[in-house]
Each structure stands twice: as C-alpha cells, then as structure tokens.
Chains A and B, each alone.
Chain A
C-alpha cells in the first residue's frame, strides 16, 4: 500500500470531520426524533419533510445552498464574518456539509429506536412520579440506545463518504479540506496515480469495515448486559 503524506492528512481529516459531524448532530438528532415521536404539535409534517429533505436532494444542491448561506454574502456567513469567523473552505465547512447530509439518517434510526419503546413504559414512569425530563433521561434515552448507536454508525459512515456537498462548501484543498473521497477523486483523474487511488480505497474499506464491526460488537454487548 502506497500512501503519500497528504493522504495520511486526508485520512485523519476524514476521521476528524466524520467524528465531529456525528458528535455535533447527536443531541440535535435525539431532540428532533423525540419531538417527532413523543410530542404532538402542529406542523409536525413540515418538520419531518424538512429533516428528510437532505436524503432526497442531490448533495451538490445541498452544498450550493450551504454556500449561499455560509458564504461571504450569505445570511449566516455575513453574521459570522462580523466576529471574524470564516467557515467556507475550511474543515468546519466539511463538518457542516457532512452533518447536513447525514442528519436524516441519524434522526431516522433514533426515531425507529424510540418508536419501538412501549408507550406504557412511559406511562408507568410518569405515574411513578417521573417528570418529562426524568423519563427522557432514565427511560427513553437508554431504551433508544440501539437506535442512537445505529444512527451514529450510519451517519459516521455517510460522513466519510461525503463528496458532493463538501467539494462545494469546503473545496478540495490538500492538507486543509481534502478528505479521502476528494483525494481519490484527484488521483482518479490522472491515469498515473491508479495505485495511489487504490491505496486510499483500501483505507476507506478498512475504516468502513471497522465501523461495522464496532457497531455489531457494541450491539451484542448491549444485548448481553440486558440478558443478565
């Protein structure tokens, strides 16, 4: 396997972006899934459509919207610029792109986990004196842990593969915003670098397989602790 120093950077950057995107999205994903599953309110359908939109939109379209929003003249970009914060073409932009694209997958998995909780368990906790936040932390959170785990793995994996939105908002700057897929894209465009591209592909496979194994291992561990 042949890896250039930029490739190593790309690997670390990919991992950093995917991890950060997943970690940042988790509390939001959990809250939104909880709202959708347990709270009756007007306009729930709109929230659902909005959350799922990135799943159906081409990532390039999302990237373009993000660019409009976060760019120098965008609503948020302008506001952040006043505080000296620049997002576009930094690794933070890659995080935002990954988070946006992977968010629906995270919410869906957590939601599935929450929907499988028997409502009477929540009724039981309430009649035993638990307030909503208490029930959320002691019943809903642990019982939807499988969904959270599955959602996080999915989102992490999806973030590793993020290309379309990332290339638009973060660019493809080696050592700064170039993640594994972007690096492979560069190598693939010149016929002499097939081996390099292949090496990075192997790394990609390795990371994905590790994520899947870790997920399986944690799920089994969870099952075992429940069986005691």
Chain B
C-alpha cells in the first residue's frame, strides 16, 4: 500500500497540515489526544473534506483540490474500525457483518464471510442482537464488518481504547491476523506506545496537527524511555509454562524465565519495564532475584541522559535502562558480556 497525503484543514482554532508518504502494510499514526489523529482519519476516509491538498492511494487520486477531484466516502473502499464498535443497534450480528459485504461489488468480494466468521470465532453469536454483546465481542464484530466490506485500506481508530487491558491484548492477535491473512493494509491510530509496538512496522507521529516524525514504534519507545513513567516496556512472548514451587517457568527462546504471575496458556505476552532490570558486570554470588541472564551488549542508545542498553540473551533482545554514571562505572561497551537480574514479580502478564 502506498498512501500520499498532503492536506490542510482548518477547524476553528485548530489547523491540520499533514504531509507524508506512507508505504507498507502496517502503519501507525501516533499522537496525544487532540493532536489531530482522528481528523486525519476522517480526511483519509472521505468523511471530511480537506480545504486544500491531495490524497493518493495506490495511484488512485482520492482527493485533489487542484484537479477538483473528490471520491466520496462510500466509494473509497476504506473501512473504519471505530473506538466504540458502532454496530448498528437494530441489526443482528449477522446483518451487521454482512452490511458492507452486500454493498461491495461482486468482483471485489474476495473475502468470504464463512472464512472470516471462523477466524474471528463469531459463529455462536451470529443470530444475536448486538446490544448485549460484551465489549470484546462487539469489537470483533466491528472488525469483521469492516473486513467483509473488502476494503483496500482499513483504518483502525483507537479500536482498543474502550476495552480493559485483558481484553485489549486478546483482540490484538485478531486485528493482526485478519490483516495478514486477507492482505488488507491498515492505518492503526492510537496514543498507546505498547499497541504501536505490537501492531505496526512504522509510525507517523502527529502533534498539533503536524506530522513531526516518520519512525518506528521501537524508535519511539526508545526516545521516550527517560520521560515515560515506566521506562521502555519490553514485550516478551513466553511459551511452554510449567509451575514449580509457586513460580511459573517459561521458555523465552532458549532461555528459561521464572515468573510470579503466570498462567497455563501455551503462549503468553508479558511486559517488563527497562527499569526492572539490574545489570552486573560480574556474576553475583547470591541474589534474591530469580532470573539471572548471561547476556551480551548488542547496542546502546541515549534517551535524555539515560542510557538504554540493548541486551542479547541467546539471541533474544531486551532493553535495560541505566543512568550515564552507571554506564561509565561498569564500563559497558557494545559486545561486552554482562549479567541481567530480573525479579520474578517484575513481569506483568498482558495476555
């Protein structure tokens, strides 16, 4: 997917002027609330018209003030997953799912409802009304409805922010797999860095109606490490859990980790703050922390006076955060060997 945006829009005192070229299947639009993310989404989808400029998607001009061209929202084939699921309250789950599908030209109907219903596990809900679905179910139906419209581009406007943490990370795999399995590129709009890291390959950062950076979620997280209250959040996919004397052991690549709050799911996603990792130059004799990883320093970066140390533990990457003084005292350099200690209670299970 290639998207060229160069648009201006004034809304009262707020003005948006975004110029960006987006390519790739999984793009994030990141910014605080009020930065103009949602306005940008409305402009791209055609629900709002720019004052000036042009929007070109895969060589098709969607809007151009110069050529006096404006393809209407209903003809752009850009579907939206809204923050609140926005299901049609008078229709059943099935009718909601098929709303866009029925209005899609036969030659564009590449995704079959049965396949998607299976993937999103919606079969038991089909005949029900939408009023009494849970938040997660509603969002799954909304996702299915958008995908079945067989869009060229999917806009996800903070689709997870109305959900609680546990549900949010249950929905993410659906969002990703739907896009991957059916080959639909998406723009993922959010103010959550963790969601950006899990959902996107690269990111446009929006502030005060301007695109201030084109970067990756990883780079954004690194830049914000020092100011963020939780530092850099490492996201670890851990597998093969087993329980031993009150602790769970997980496989992390070829490493073994001890975790206090685990579960029996075959695979789980954990979050670990860069500030919860203590580095040792030499092997500490005795230590209360349950995890001691033998690592190499793969990379180092600066973030407002703090030093981010990218560790490689048998090929698995982890970011630890230390102050400059500590980095100098320990004489940490790229390639040097180091031990990382992590308490079993430092891991927070997301899903």
Contacts and interface: CB of A to CB of B under 8 A. Distances in A.
Contacts of A1: none
Given A120-B82, A227-B131, A125 B90 contact: no
A127 B78 contact: yes
Interface string A127-152: 11111001000110011000000000
A226 B79 contact: no
B169 interface: no
A128 B90 contact: no
Interface string B225-257: 000000000000000000000000000000000
Contacts, number: 68
Given A142-B90, A143-B90, A128 B131 contact: no
A205 interface: no
A120 B84 CA distance: 9
B129 A226 contact: yes
A128 B100 contact: yes
Given A120-B84, A123-B47, A124-B82, A129 B90 contact: no
Contacts of B77: 129
Contacts of B84: 120
A73 interface: no
Contacts of A126: 46-47, 72-74
Contacts of A134: 103
Interface residues of B, number: 29
Interface in A176-228: 226-228
Interface size on A, as a range, is: 20 to 34
A125 B84 CA distance: 14
A134 B104 CA distance: 13
B149 interface: yes
A35 interface: no
Nearest to B99: A128
8 contacts: A123-B73, A123-B80, A126-B73, A127-B45, A127-B149, A143-B89, A226-B89, A227-B129
Given A124-B80, A227-B132, 7 more contacts: A120-B84, A121-B89, A125-B99, A127-B73, A127-B80, A129-B77, A134-B103
Interface of B: 45-47, 72-80, 82, 84, 86, 88-90, 99-100, 103-104, 128-129, 131-132, 145-146, 149
